Amino acid sequence: MQMPYLSKEFRDECDEYCEESIWYTGGLREDQDWAGCINYLNYRMLFNRMKREDGKWKRYWKLALWVGTMMCCVLEVYRRVIGPYEDEAIKKNGDVE
């Protein structure tokens, strides 16, 4: 699934950097390990962007942007993946009364 809001060229550039991390399986035993790995990779990627060279946090607005970006990621996954999955389950099993 690609984010449609980025240009194709930018997505291709991002994919070059993400591919190895996305498909990393070395040493992972179970889905829980994979989930932890994804959590860690996201945290490190954002954490490293939010620290200055002297190790101090950048401005508050940048930290708020970090949190907002993560919230938007969660909402996008829900909108595109979980919502449609639940809609299919309702069709198959019936809605809750």
Q: Convert the pLDDT of each residue in 38-90 to its tens digit.
A: 788 788 888 777 777 777 777 888 888 888 888 998 999 999 999 999 999 99
Distance CA 40, CA 37 (A): 5
pLDDT value at position 29? Answer: 62
More confident residue, 94 or 15: 94
Residue carrying structure tokens 């829980």: 32
| Residues whose CB falls within 8 Å of the CB of residue 2, separated by 6 or more in sequence, listed in order | 11
Contact 51, 57 (CB under 8 A): yes
Looking at the chain, how many residues does it have?
A: 97
Report if pTM > 0.85: no
Indicate if the pLDDT at residue 27 is higher than 80. Answer: no
Domain boundaries, given as residue ranges, for the chain = 7-50, 55-97
pLDDT value at position 31? Answer: 65
